[in-house]
Structures are given as C-alpha cells and as structure tokens.
C-alpha cells in the first residue's frame, strides 16, 4: 500500500504565497491599512511564548501586521477582559488570539467568550463553536479547521467513513468531531473515560489523535488502510501516535513535526485575512 504523507508544511507554504498577494491587494483597497492580528500572551510559559512568536513571524512573512500584548502571570480575569475589550473596539485590529492556556485562576472561558465573534479568528468563542457545529458561517477552531483543509487538499474522502477523535478539548477534539460530522463522517469522540480505547481505534477509518501524551496511541491499535492525523507535539518531535510501521500499511499519515502544526498557523492567518476582508467590505 502506498501511504500518502499529509505534508502540512508544504501546503502551508503554498497557502502563504497566495495569502501574501491577497494581503497586498486588500491593503491597496483599504487605503494602506494592513490586516492586523493581535495576540495576547499571559504569563511566561516558554512554549506559549514560542507559539505566539511563530504566529507573529507568519504574519510578517506575508506582509500582515501583528500586535503583541504581553501580560504578567498575576493578571486577573477582569484585567484580561479589559485588554480584550480594548482590542474589540480597535478598528485597526482584525483578529484576536488569546494564547491557550492562561494561568490559573483566570477564567479562560469567560475571556474567550469576550472576544468579538467577528474577530474570533482562532475559533474559540462559544457562539462561534455553536454556529460552526450547526453548519453556519463562523470561523472554525484553527487546528481542526487546518486538519480539514489538509485532508481536503489530499483528497481524503470523509463521507460515510468512521472517524475516531481522541480527546475532547473545546478548542480541538470537540470542534474536530463537529467538523467531521458536518462532512458526513460517522464520528466517535473518545476521552479519558472511554472503555477499551484500543477497540474504538481499531474500528476507525480516520483517526485524529489529540490527547497530549507522547505515543499514547499504539501502532497495533490502528487498522491497515486507516488515515492517521497526529495533532500532538512533544519535545524531540514526538507525536501522540506511535509511528512504528504506519507508513507501510496506512492510507495516509501526518508527519510530526510538519503535519498539523503548520496548518494551525496557516488557518489562523487565513481567517484573520478573511476577517479583514469582511471589515473592509462594510
């Protein structure tokens, strides 16, 4: 069996080339105002800081502006809400990203939901999730939306397939399950209380692993001909799925790194540009 490597890095680079020309065109149409993504980083978590920096670099690479808001780890929920309100009211800001996770005891859900849905380019608000799940027009959570774009680019059929999603995060597992359902897959959403997880995975035509534990999903759980999407990343370039032998017997596999991660950032940037285009059309 010839296995397709779902190369998110290559696809993201291709998309970036298209986005750069779109940013230039929109900037000319809007009297020089450049589409802008605002990021909010609370605390000093090194991994979060790295992710934010990657997103800012991705903006710069296509000519998009960015604004980095950095708040101390002792920031309160009220203070963070005030920062979000300021960005909501700023007409020069098209998209808002609140880097997850925020330090305790901040109410992350309240802060996510304070983001104006028109600027929710990371797809984290409850209202945005609800619209997306119902098949309405809304920005999808960036990682699952990026996965859907990656699968579509490689012509991976979803209709009628049995998809198993491992992990029920509100910004990854749950929206992933909804997007796959909307694409006519039959979806099983697994979590820490799912009995006999291996049995569920063995039934899957499509597996999306988002459990946050290195090599948690065993290679011998995965049936021949399955499509494996590994949304995990751990130090040393390790994913959530044990890769042993998968390239010789699966229909398609995402590499780690270079699979899902680049598509998350690409989707965030694409949705920021879409938000800017909508704002400019008013």
Residues 109 and 186 in one domain: no
Could you list the residue range(s) of the whole structural domain that residue 207 is in?
Answer: 142-261
Active site (annotated) includes residue 122: yes
Residue 280 lies in a domain: no
Q: Does 254 lie in the same domain as 153? A: yes
Assign 282 a pLDDT band (cuts: 50, 70, 90). Answer: confident
What is the rounded average pLDDT of the residues 120-148? 97
Q: Are 247 and 158 in a shared domain?
A: yes
Quick one: residue 58, left, alpha or beta (phi over 0 = left, psi -120 to 50 = alpha)?
Answer: alpha
How do 162-166 and 95-98 pair as beta strands? unpaired
Q: Are residues 254 and 153 in the same domain?
A: yes
Q: Which of 1-5, 122-126, 164-168, 206-210 has the lowest mean pLDDT?
A: 1-5
Exactly one of 55, 119, 161, 174 is catalytic; name it.
55
Task: Identify whether 55 is a catalytic site residue.
Answer: yes
Residue 61: inside a domain, yes or no? yes
189 and 96 in a common domain: no
pLDDT (average), residues 165-184: 98
* 90 and 180 co-located in one domain: no
**Active-site annotation holds for 99:** yes
Q: Which of the following is catalytic: 7, 120, 122, 230?
A: 122
Note whether residue 242 is domain-resident: yes
* CATH at 217: 3.40.50.720
Whether the predicted pLDDT of 31 surpasses 90:
no
pTM here is 0.97
Strand partners, 220: none
Distance of CA 51 to the CA centre of its chain: 12
Residues 154 and 237 in one domain: yes
Tell me which of 22, 99, 174, 271 is the catalytic residue: 99
Give the residues across from 209 on adjacent strands. Answer: 166, 230
- 85 shares a domain with 50: yes
Question: Mind listing the pLDDT tens digit for each residue in 194-224?
Answer: 999 999 999 999 999 999 999 999 999 999 9
Cβ partners under 8 Å of residue 4, min gap 6: 154, 156, 251, 252, 253
Helix (H, G, I), strand (E, B) or coil at 217: strand
* Pair 147, 252 in one domain: yes
Q: How do beta strands 206-209 and 227-230 pair?
A: parallel
- For residues 137, 139, 143, 147, the Cα torsion angle rounded to the nearest 10 degrees is 30
- pLDDT surpassing 90 at residue 1: no
- Do 101 and 156 belong together in one domain? no
Report the pLDDT averaged over residues 228-249. Answer: 96
Provide the number of structural domains found in the chain: 2
Spatial contact of 205 and 162, defined as CB atoms under 8 Å apart: yes
Query: Are 108 and 165 in the same domain?
Result: no
pLDDT tens string 50-105:
999 999 999 999 999 999 999 999 999 999 999 999 999 999 999 999 999 999 99
């Amino acid at each position: 069996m010839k296995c397709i490597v779902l190369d998110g890095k290559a696809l993201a680079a291709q998309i970036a080339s298209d986005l750069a020309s779109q940013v230039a065109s929109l900037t000319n149409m809007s009297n020089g105002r450049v589409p802008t993504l605002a990021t909010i980083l609370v605390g000093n978590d090194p991994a979060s800081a790295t992710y934010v920096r990657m997103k800012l670099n991705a903006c710069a690479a296509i000519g998009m502006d960015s604004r980095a808001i950095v708040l101390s780890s002792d920031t309160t929920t009220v203070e963070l809400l005030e920062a979000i309100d300021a960005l909501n009211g700023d007409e020069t800001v098209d998209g808002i990203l609140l880097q997850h996770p925020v330090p305790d005891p901040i109410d992350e859900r309240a802060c996510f939901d304070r983001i104006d849905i028109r600027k929710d380019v990371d797809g984290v608000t409850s209202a945005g999730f609800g619209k997306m799940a119902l098949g309405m027009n809304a920005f999808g959570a960036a990682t699952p939306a990026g996965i859907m774009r990656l699968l579509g680019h490689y012509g991976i059929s979803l209709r009628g397939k049995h998809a198993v999603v491992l992990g029920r995060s509100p910004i990854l597992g749950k929206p992933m399950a909804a997007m796959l359902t909307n694409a006519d897959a039959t979806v099983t959403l697994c979590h820490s209380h799912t009995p006999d997880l291996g049995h569920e995975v063995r039934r899957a035509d499509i597996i999306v692993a988002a459990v946050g534990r290195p090599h948690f999903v065993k290679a011998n759980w995965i049936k021949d001909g399955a499509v494996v999407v590994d949304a995990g990343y751990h130090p040393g370039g390790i994913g959530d799925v044990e890769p042993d032998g998968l390239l010789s017997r699966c229909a398609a596999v995402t590499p780690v790194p270079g699979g899902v991660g680049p598509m998350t950032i690409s989707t965030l940037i694409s949705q920021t540009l879409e938000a800017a285009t909508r704002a400019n059309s008013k």
